[in-house]
Amino acid sequence: MSTNQRGCLYLVGLVIFAFFGCFLFPFIVLPAWGTAVTLPVITVPAEYYIEGWAGFLSPIQAIFPDFQLVNTLGGALLANIIVLLIAFFAWRASKGWTKEVPGRFQGVVELIGSMWWGLTRDQAGTKPKVKYILFPLVASIFLFLLAGNLGKLLPGVETVGVLHCADYDPVVLNGFPVSELGSFTGQPYFVLKNDAALNTGTPASDESYHRCEAMMGIDAYESYLPTQLDPFRDQKVTYLTEEGDTLEEVAEYFNTVRIPDLLTAELDDGSEYVDVEYEGYAPVEISPESIIEANTADDGTVNLVAAGADAHEAAEDHSEEAAEEVVEEAAEGEETAEVEEAVAEEAAAEEAEHELEDVVAIGPTTELEAGQEIVIREALVGAEATTFTNQLFTVAPFVRGVATDLSFTIGLALLAFVAIQAFGISELGLNYFQKFINVHALGSVAKHPLGAIDFVVGLFEIISEIGKIISLSFRLFGALFAGSVLFVVIMFLVGTTVPVVILALELIVGTAQAAVFAILTMLFCAQAMVSHVHEEDHVEAHV
């Protein structure tokens, strides 16, 4: 097989793979199953599981009234578990670090440790404070961030979580109804119901949010509960027309046959998941006008076909004949060609408009073409829904990458900032602050006029030192949050296959950002332990 033949074979394989992975599965199969990929809620603040504490932990609520248990804490817990498991299995594999000939796993762990010790030693020396404080700090930061960044690539992370009602304040969120898949330990679990690819959901409103919260059992919104139950259980209602059907007859059939049959059948008088009882059944009334509205597209086109559709062609033929007659009359009157054409077009348009109005106008008594599926009522979703599963929901993941929370990255940057100052003061004492307010250079300005520049530069160092908090925190947050957003957007657009490439990029970015944060912390601490007073000044002071 030649190189070109092999290349063509690979190309065909890629096309087939792309067809199944990027088109057939995400755009045909998943929507048919009602599980098309949805666009998740993208928020900078972490989402909460429980708003405050309950039970024996309720005193925490009194002390911290605004406290919320958020999912980035789950990400931090996952990172800690991963690091502890690695440490445990490394200790076990090395037999308490007594095994002199390491195996593969022990060798990898020792390689990482020796690499970070080598970097720390080269930049900060081998002093006890470096060996026993700085090195463990830097290595711990790297391992924790690496576990947190790569842990969010595990299946279920940032995808499986708690159902929340789609909120409308301060930002309107889009939500989806849900389908129950089964139960786990007695608790039902659901998936967002979506039967259309690239569907962004339904925007929430205050009514839909409050009704959803009421259906979730929140007593504060009990007044929003439906007082009457829809016999169709919020489902879309359609009808297959037969010969001679009119909208008037179809509406009468539903009002006198279908709805009474549903009302006499056994229906749950309340929510399946919340202890709610309704007062009665909704007096559903189907009318020809409501059917026309349900079958009217956004552009105003009515998707109903009358039985006399053949009359359309007759009307068009009649319009053409009328146009020819106008042209002949214009020719007899010796009109110009431009006038003839304009008159003919106008006459044809007017005649066609009058004829088609008589034929295609759909009214209550218009006979419909047999065999067409017409919509009697669209599905009720959100504020109009009377069932639990047709409310508007979003998902707050149980675990979200810890570095995608700006409060965490700022907190870690503050920890690094405090460590930098601590190492500087422990090594240089009060002279460390000469880096910012260089009184020594200011005192020697008469002998060394350039000392005034050193003093001014020191003032700028204050801004630079505070800027380390911003640079460290936003660099880590921006890279990891952008990766999460990119992944969910690509997943939404193509569904399968292509997002694997984004996961590979996340693997690289997550490792690189963990290393960058740890290295910068180490370098800043090493620089803080270096005196900013010139050596000759020290000699002069001793003399």
Q: What is the pLDDT of residue 536?
A: 46
Residue 359, pLDDT score: 42
Is the pLDDT confidence value at 38 over 80? yes
Distance of alpha carbon 117 from alpha carbon 134, whole angstroms: 10
Q: Is 303 helix (H, G, I), strand (E, B) or coil?
A: coil
Residue-level pLDDT at 226: 86
Instruction: Tell me which of 36-40, 148-152, 410-414 is least confident.
Output: 36-40
Average pLDDT over residues 430-455: 81
DSSP 469-525: HHHHHHHHHHHHHHHHHHHHHHHHHH-SSTHHHHHHHHHHHHHHHHHHHHHHHHHHH
Q: How confident is the model at residue 282 (pLDDT cuts 50, 70, 90)?
A: confident
State the average pLDDT for the chain. 84
Return the pLDDT at 539: 42
Task: Say if residue 384's pLDDT is above 80.
Answer: yes
pLDDT digits (tens, 9 = 90+) for 140-150: 999 999 999 99
Please write the tens of the pLDDT for every residue from 48-60.
876 655 555 667 6
Average the pLDDT over 170-184 and give the result: 88
Lowest-confidence pick of 19-33, 272-286, 306-320? 306-320
State residue 52's pLDDT score.
55
Q: For residue 377, which of 457, 242, 315, 287 has the smallest C-alpha distance?
A: 287
* Mean pLDDT, rounded, for 439-450: 76
- Closest to 386 (Cα-Cα) out of 170, 207, 144, 265: 207
Question: Tokens 């009697």 correspond to what residue?
Answer: 376
Mean of pLDDT values over 169-181: 90
Is it the case that residue 430 has pLDDT exceeding 70?
Answer: yes
Q: Which DSSP string do the residues of 313-339 spell out, in sequence order?
A: HHHHHHHHHHHHHHHHHHHHTT--HHH
Is residue 170 reached through a cis peptide bond, with omega within 30 degrees of 0 on the bond before it? yes
What pTM value is reported for the model?
Answer: 0.78
- pLDDT exceeds cutoff 90 at 274: no
Lowest mean pLDDT among 51-60, 329-338, 419-428: 329-338
| H helix intervals, 230-387 | 247-253, 259-264, 288-294, 310-332, 337-360
3-state SS, one letter per residue, for 147-204: HHHHHCCCCCCCCCEEEEECCCCCCCCEEECEEEEEEECCEEEEEECECCCCCCCEEC
Q: Is pLDDT at 353 greater than 70 in this prediction? A: no
Does the pLDDT of residue 311 top 80, yes or no? no
